[in-house]
A = this chain, B = another copy of it.
């Protein structure tokens, strides 16, 4: 492997000049720049990351802490991971995976060994054991998700409250006066990710503002629970029922239950579910969908991280950003009762 020394020799300049050509940290005459660039090209020189990290104290690597296999919704996790990795490249950074089964110790390790310059934490819960560590680490940390106490932390997430509001507003506008919200499945409720509360709160806010009734019904991945919830929903409505189903893993079961009752989505029943647009496309379910825009959240998380790294301010930062969600309508879905 050629080194910058080789390049310097080939170009007939000092090693430091090669470094400055690459970094642009000091003016270089057109002539020598050309010479150096030619030598780099010709030797196919690439700077050694380890040496660079050692000398500059910057690895240009961001640690991404991925959730510990909750089996649920791996697909949407991958959506985050994938976009985060691509975006990081756009900012000339790489992503190192930190699996959550290492726990808080993993965070200390990658930062302590100076493998990466900063951390992005996914799936942050209300009370997260990683947070005290995150605060004490002397590197920038960006959270995807909002803990109960976000003080001293940089957080970003989809605006779940707004999403909840929008869903209710849409169904109300379609003429529904009673709207059933199916909760996330127990496994998710138990994890105390507070986006659940934020979403549900959004539905209540809108309901109060519009004078409609919102029913909160239990969610689950078994037919029995859903069936029971649908019973309740039907019992409480005189007209056509309307459902809001934020948990993707429930949507399919609900659909089966409804069609088992001879109810046609979009005709007899209005449903809004969360989904990425591509997923909705792939499985043409007649739902209006709340797009929580994981890609946008991911992009911004990386952007924020890179800004923090740029301005390498040591002290702790604090900020909270909510990414607006989007409702995509599907024709003939929201039918007035």
Contacts of A101 in B (CB 8 A): 86, 89
Contacts of A48 in B (CB 8 A): 54, 113-114
Contact of A77 among B72, B78, B97 (CB under 8 A): B78
Contact of A69 among B44, B51, B82 (CB under 8 A): B82
Contacts of A235 in B (CB 8 A): none
Contacts of A59 in B (CB 8 A): 49-50
Contact present for A51 and B54 (CB under 8 Å): yes
A284-333 interface (Cβ within 8 A of B): 284
Contact of A81 among B71, B78, B110, B222 (CB under 8 A): B78
* Residue ID in chain B nearest A260 by CB atoms: B259
What is the bound-complex CA distance between A101 and B50, given in angstroms?
24
Contacts of A102 in B (CB 8 A): 89
Contacts of A72 in B (CB 8 A): 282
Contacts of A50 in B (CB 8 A): 49-54, 59, 114
A129 at the interface (CB under 8 A from B): no
8 smallest CB-CB distances across A and B, nearest first, come from A50-B53, A46-B112, A75-B75, A78-B78, A74-B78, A74-B75, A50-B54, A85-B97
Can you add 12 more A-B contacts, CB < 8 Å, to A71-B282, A86-B99, A223-B284? A48-B114, A50-B53, A50-B114, A75-B75, A78-B81, A89-B102, A94-B97, A94-B115, A96-B97, A221-B283, A222-B284, A249-B282
